[in-house]
Amino acid sequence: MSMDAKNKALGWRPVLLLILDGWGCNETEAQQPLAAASTPHWDWLRASFPYSEAAATGPWLGLPENWPGSCEWGHFLIGTGRRGAHPYLLVEEALGEGSSLGSEEVVRFLQRAHREGRRLHLWGLTSNGRVHSVERHSWALLERARQAGFSGEQVLFHAVTDGWDTPPRSAIGYLARVAAQSLVLGVGRLASLCGRAYSLGPPSVRARREDAHRLLRFGEGRLADTFSQALQTAYQQGQEDMLLAPTVLLGREGYPVGHLEEGDLLLCFHFQPLRAHAFLKSLA
């Protein structure tokens, strides 16, 4: 018996699952463009068939209250059919927010790195967009590194600027706060900048990913004395945070602050693994 015949005999009817990214049910036109748009097919479906609305934020998705969901996490939950622990919460636990040192795994990793004389690199999306990152996680890692014995330029910070989950020219505030935390703690130095379209873009944009790879691995890219100078130059050329060209920051006497070298260790501090995993794998 064919599959179609079997389904017909059992009384089963085909079901179509449509995932409409960015489509919501808020009826307030000021908050939902779809409410003001002409959507005859959607209106017909809602008028002709029973339906229910699913929440897409906060605890319903395993997230903190009032946190927005994301397409990546939403697709993951639809695929698994159950609510899971969001990576954000796993990072919160690993960094031990509110504790003295954080989880034993993080502590042991950093203490071993310092004991072996290795240089530590912190890399990730430097923003508070809450889809891929929150800025306090990078601050927490700087604090954990200091507590493990690191100081000064033994820790290098490689910032990926956002501009997608945040306003397009908002990087200056996030970078300034990282620099301030490093100064207060006496550990860490901004070493490079790169827009997320390069290191976190889709795999199809290979040229950009290779540029981001060369920045982190070999210290190749545009040169700038400070992060504010790098941003100013980019904005003057029409590049916003997301498309910020890979940039090497210069330190004392005009030499690059540093890049990944043999024996160095790297930690990623943003919690959305999908695009980051693909990029970091290319560094291995």
pLDDT of residue 210: 92
165 vs 29, residue with greater confidence: 165
CA 195 vs. chain centroid, Å, equals 12
Q: What pTM was computed for the model? A: 0.79
Residue found under tokens 């959607």:
42
3-state SS, residue 99: coil
- Amino acid identity, position 240: E
Q: What is the Cα–Cα distance from 34 to 23, expressed in whole angstroms? A: 7
- Residue in 218, 169, 210, 163 with CA at minimum distance from that of residue 192: 218
- The stretch 122-148 carries a mean pLDDT of 89
Q: Which pLDDT tens digit goes with each residue over 175-199?
A: 999 999 999 999 999 999 999 999 9
Lowest mean pLDDT among 9-18, 95-104, 142-151, 226-235: 95-104
Task: Write the pLDDT tens digit of every residue in 59-68.
Answer: 888 787 877 7
Contact of 187 with 139, CB cutoff 8 Å: no
Residue 77 predicted with pLDDT over 90 = no
Per-residue pLDDT band at 247 (split at 50, 70, 90): very high
Domains and CATH numbers, the chain: 17-80 (no CATH), 87-283 (3.40.1450.10)
Mean pLDDT (whole number) for 52-71: 79
Sheet holding 152-161, edge to edge: 222-224, 247-249, 187-195, 152-161, 120-125, 265-268
Q: How far apart are CA 247 and CA 234, in angstroms?
A: 10
Kindly report each contact of residues 131-134 with a partner whose C-beta sits within 8 Å and lies 24 or more positions away, as own/partner.
131/68, 131/70, 131/165, 131/272, 132/162, 132/165, 132/200, 132/270, 132/271, 132/272, 132/276, 133/162, 133/269, 133/270, 133/271, 133/272, 134/88, 134/271
What is the predicted pLDDT for the residue at 30? 67
Name the average pLDDT for the chain: 86
DSSP 8-state symbol, 244: P
Higher local confidence (pLDDT), 52 or 126:
126
Give the DSSP letter string of 131-165. SS--HHHHHHHHHHHHHTT--EEEEEEEEEE-SSS
Please say if the pLDDT value at position 99 is more than 60: no
pLDDT band of residue 100 (cuts 50, 70, 90) is very low
pLDDT higher at 1 or 105:
105
The arithmetic mean of pLDDT across residues 225-241, rounded, is 96
* pLDDT of res. 101: 44
Alpha-carbon distances, residue 65 vs 26, 32, 62, 94, 267 (angstroms)? 18, 21, 9, 20, 28
Residue-wise pLDDT for 144-173, tens only, equals 899 899 999 999 999 999 999 999 999 999
Q: What is the mean pLDDT of residues 130-136?
A: 85
- pLDDT of 105 > 70? The answer is yes
Number of neighbouring beta carbons within 10 Å of residue 215 = 25
